[in-house]
Structures are given as C-alpha cells and as structure tokens.
Amino acid sequence: MNDEELLGKALHVAREAGLLLLRKHGSVLPFGLTLDPAGDNPRTFFPRDQLPRASWDELLDATLGHLEQRSGSADVAAIALVTTLESGSESGLGIQVETRASSLFLVYPYSATGQSWRLGEPQTAEGLLVGPILATRTQDIP
C-alpha cells in the first residue's frame, strides 16, 4: 500500500471507530490506532481501560506514549490519534493520522438529533494536534 492509501485507510478506520464511540458514549476520549504496512490489522489502544479515573490530559499523554513507543516498530506504517475536541459550544471529532512520510489533522464537527449522531464535513486544522509522532511532513486532505 502506498503512503496516500495508508493515510486514507488510517483516517477511515479512525473516523469509523470514533463515530462508533461517539454513538455509544456521547464523546470520544483519546485513543490511538496503528496499521501495518499492508494497511491491515488495525490495533487500537484505549488508555481509559487501564486508567479509569484519568483526566483527559492524562489519557492523551498515555495515548501519545503508546503511539510513540509503537512508532519504532517495523510493523507500524500508519498511526492515528482520535479524540473529542471542544471550543465554546462547538464539538468535533479530532483525528490526526500519520504515515512515515506525511501527516494530516482533521476536525469533523458533529451533532446529535435524539440518539442519532452525525459527522459534518471535515475541516483541515492548522498544524497538528500533537507531534508529529511518525511523520516527516504535513499534507492537505488526500
């Protein structure tokens, strides 16, 4: 799988996992995702499982630590960091995806109608949420 395909697949898997959590819990606490060089075998890391009383900052730090540790492995070709982001009364699903060659940070605004959650069109954010962790450059929406 080439770099652009890996970036797209990591974004898709991260967005779908984030949407699933949003529908289940109403927000998304920080979590990480890795893909192998073939774009297969997604592996997730949910720090809330090990740190049930941790703050958002502690969960973000734990996720970053895990992704940084995993980024040195030859079987990791793409990573994603996913979390709810809030600004005033607006909320969005923040997704930072990276391959070894590039990175991308998008925010999907979301809204709920009853039990139904919907993601809006992604907005490219300036820079990255954190990092870069794995990438050597930042790129626009693929």
Domain boundaries, the chain: 3-124
pLDDT band at 93 (very low <50, low <70, confident <90, very high): very high
Q: What whole-number distance in Å separates Cα of residue 41 and Cα of residue 25? A: 25
Percentage of the chain surpassing pLDDT 70?
Answer: 91
Q: What is the pTM of this model?
A: 0.86
Residue 63: HSE in the Cβ half-sphere, 13 Å Cα cutoff: 30
At 135 the pLDDT is: 66
Higher pLDDT, residue 39 or 129:
39
Cβ 55 vs Cβ 112: under 8 Å? no
| Phi, psi for residue 28 in degrees, rounded to 5 | -125, 115
